[in-house]
Amino acid sequence: MEEEHIEPPPYIHIETNDFLHRRHKRQKEEDIAVCECQYNLMDPDSACGERCWNVSTNTECTPGYCRCGVYCKNQRFQKCQYARTRLVKTEGRGWGLLAEENIMAGQFVIEYCGEVISWKEAKRRSQAYEDQGLMEAYIIYLNTAESIDATKKGSLARFINHSCQPNCETRKWNVLGEVRVGIFAKQDIPIGMELSYDYNFEWFGGAIVRCLCGAASCSGFLGAKSRGFQEATYLWEDDDDRFSVENIPIYDSTDEEHTSIPKDILLAKNEPITQRSNNSTVQSTENPGIAISNELMAMTVEPLMAGSNELTPMTVEPLMASSNGLTPMTIEPLRAIPMGVDFVENGSTEYGAQYADDVLENSAHRVAKLQNQSSPQSKNHHTELVPVRSKPKFRGGKAKRGLRKQLNVADICDRLSSAVAREEILYCEEVKKQATAEIDSLYDEIRPAIEEHERDSQDNVSTSLAEKWIEASCCKYKAEFDLSAAIIKNMASTPLRGKEDVIPGERNGLLYLQNGT
Ligand SMILES: C[S@@+](CC[C@H](N)C(=O)[O-])C[C@H]1O[C@@H](n2cnc3c(N)ncnc32)[C@H](O)[C@@H]1O
């Protein structure tokens, strides 16, 4: 093995994010969340463990404010309390990171650090890196307005490879007023195993890379669910030839030897750049031997509702009709699934706070009517859905924004038999969540400015902040619209299934594979 002779291409190692387009936020005293924990020598869990309010809201305790003082266990990002890891050369996937100790499920592994840049800059850089022939992409989403670029500066987390069946996941934490991204173990990880997470929702894009994770559930390409990938491959257009990417240049990471970071973007050292080698020092996280099969067939879909409001049943060809023996089926039109209501497991339905009572009344009436009208097939799916009104609870202005009509995406996904359809909806939901989180964090920024303005009515709220707010609002509305559109499209154009058809182990319409299954 050449392990001792080769090194990864140079980069600048950092352990906290570097802010390029703005200053690090200063946490205001009134914004500091102080938990109720008090350290008790006899109970080690008393010092900000699972029961800590801050832990349950993914917020780190602020030193000097937490009563547990030095015993506080909820400052892991701040104290860089990382798991022990080791860099290794993998087969075909460049460098990777291994667990160098046994890691427990839920454990904080490492922070994904890099340069915090605006979304516009991320787009510009991503294109520039691609133009420079950089095959490894290190930009991930932080929120709808910002990204983290670990290309030139970063922590060891930049070496964690993607897997479609990963043992880690990313989680966002609030640390001293800033959002930071951590890699957390999804399961117990034994010493020596390669760490991986699913890039999909974080992936900024870049060259299209064939995924070599080897998982049985492999989606074929890195970030196949990412917006960048979908835009590049025109997934939802015309004949809906999703995943038919023959015309797009695909970078297969085993195809060629290549330099990782072009010399002109290196900041750390001016050393010769390490060539990618096919020598392997580790095995892939899962089944490295499994050949990648990505034979998804294009699906034929009749035009959506043919431009009329008449809701008539439509014929849909199933996905992969030739391989799984499914035959074309007739599905009920969308009316069988009333939108704008939240289907709850026990049959109750919650409406959003913004609906006036008469709207609620009408909706309830309509839902009940539709249920009576629906065919036996749709009855089978939806007869248990009974709308009930729940009074909105307003507590302060901020909560109001959160109380919009909610869709129960998990329930909707459970009704869809097409994995691709479910994935699209889950992707849109994730984007919507990020857009919501972004506007929530902006609210915290804009609120003090507004209050200040109201108090002494002198200064205006800064234009840039107001613009940011408007932009974030637009993003959020767009994300909500995209989610609704994805649901409508997929419910109307892909086969539905009954609750009884949901496979054990399935959640949100996705099957979660256990290790070794
Ligand atoms: C964040 S970097 C990960 C570290 C990278 N392997 C390195 O050597 O620096 C992401 C890049 O690693 C490669 N990569 C990560 N996961 C992969 C996978 N499952 N299959 C193929 N290539 C992968 C791709 O080139 C991708 O652009």
Q: Where are the beta strands (DSSP E) in 466-516?
A: 506-507, 510-511
**Residue to substitute in 13, 85, 93, 113 for testing ligand 1 pocket (most ligand atoms within 8 angstroms of CB):** 93
How far does the centroid of ligand 1 lie from the alpha carbon of residue 298, in Å? 28
Nearest to 4 by CA among 103, 68, 89: 89
Buried b (16+ CB within 10 A) or exposed e, 253-267: beeeeebbbeeeebe
List the structure tokens of 448.
Answer: 């003090």
Which residues share a beta bridge with 149?
Answer: 115, 139
Ligand 1 in reach of 95 Cβ (< 6 A): yes
Instruction: Specify the residue with its C-alpha closest to ligand 1, atom 22.
Output: 93
Q: Which region among 3-7, 62-66, 80-84, 231-235 has the lowest average model confidence (pLDDT)?
A: 231-235
Average pLDDT (41-46) is 83
pLDDT given for residue 231 in this prediction = 57
Cβ-proximal residues to 18 (8 Å cutoff; 6+ apart), any chain: 113, 114, 115, 116, 153
46 has pLDDT over 50: yes
Confidence at 225, pLDDT banded by 50, 70, 90? low
Confidence at 134, pLDDT banded by 50, 70, 90? confident
pLDDT given for residue 207 in this prediction = 62
Instruction: Pick 194 or 328 by higher pLDDT.
Output: 194
**Residue to substitute in 11, 136, 152 for testing ligand 1 pocket (most ligand atoms within 8 angstroms of CB):** 136
Ligand 1 in reach of 209 Cβ (< 6 A): yes
Nearest ligand 1 atom to alpha carbon 213: 19
* Distance between CA atoms of residues 376 and 368, nearest Å: 15
350 has pLDDT over 60: no
List the structure tokens of 359.
Answer: 């709207």
- pLDDT over 70, % of the chain: 55
How far does the centroid of ligand 1 lie from the alpha carbon of residue 136, in Å? 6
Residues 275/257, Cβ–Cβ less than 8 Å: yes
In eight-state DSSP terms, residue 368 is H
CA geometry: angle at 469 spanning 466 and 473, to 5°? 145
Nearest ligand 1 atom to alpha carbon 207: 27
Strand 342-343 vs strand 161-162: parallel, antiparallel, or unpaired?
Answer: unpaired
Rg (the chain; Cα; Å): 25
- Amino acid at residue number 380: N
**Residue to substitute in 209, 255, 261, 278 for testing ligand 1 pocket (most ligand atoms within 8 angstroms of CB):** 209
In eight-state DSSP terms, residue 69 is G
Q: What is the pTM assigned to this prediction? A: 0.52
List the structure tokens of 236.
Answer: 């939802």
Nearest ligand 1 atom to alpha carbon 135: 25
Q: CA distances (Å), 270 to each of 9, 158, 262, in order?
A: 10, 20, 11
Which residues share a beta bridge with 329?
Answer: 316
Residues 144/73, Cβ–Cβ less than 8 Å: no
**Residue to substitute in 125, 134, 161 for testing ligand 1 pocket (most ligand atoms within 8 angstroms of CB):** 161
pLDDT given for residue 48 in this prediction = 95
Ligand 1 in reach of 215 Cβ (< 6 A): no
Residues 12/153, Cβ–Cβ less than 8 Å: yes
Ramachandran class of 354: left when φ > 0, alpha when ψ lies in -120 to 50, beta otherwise? alpha
DSSP reduced 3-state for 7: coil
Interface predicted TM-score (ipTM) of this complex, two decimals: 0.99
383 has pLDDT over 60: no
Q: CA distances (Å), 468 to each of 65, 144, 445, in order?
A: 31, 11, 10
Q: Which region among 65-69, 366-370, 381-385, 422-426 has the lowest average model confidence (pLDDT)?
A: 381-385
29 has pLDDT over 60: yes
Nearest ligand 1 atom to alpha carbon 158: 1
Q: What are the structural domains, with CATH classification, of the chain? A: 12-35+74-265 (2.170.270.10), 307-454+462-511 (no CATH)
**Residue to substitute in 253, 254, 285 for testing ligand 1 pocket (most ligand atoms within 8 angstroms of CB):** 253
Average pLDDT of every residue of the chain? 68
Lookup result for tokens 């108090």: 455
Burial (CB count <10 Å: 0-12, 13-18, 19+), residue 456: exposed
How far does the centroid of ligand 1 lie from the alpha carbon of residue 432, in Å? 26
Most confident of 25-29, 140-144, 174-178, 254-258: 174-178
Lookup result for tokens 């609210």: 443
* Distance between CA atoms of residues 49 and 56, nearest Å: 9
Alpha carbon distance, N-terminus to C-terminus of the chain: 31
Distance from chain centroid for Cα 393: 28
How far does the centroid of ligand 1 lie from the alpha carbon of residue 335, in Å? 44
* Distance between CA atoms of residues 516 and 114, nearest Å: 34
3-state secondary structure 269-284: CCCCCCECCCCCCCCC
Lookup result for tokens 């539709």: 370
Ligand 1 in reach of 88 Cβ (< 6 A): no
Nearest ligand 1 atom to alpha carbon 199: 16
pLDDT given for residue 64 in this prediction = 95
Nearest ligand 1 atom to alpha carbon 137: 27
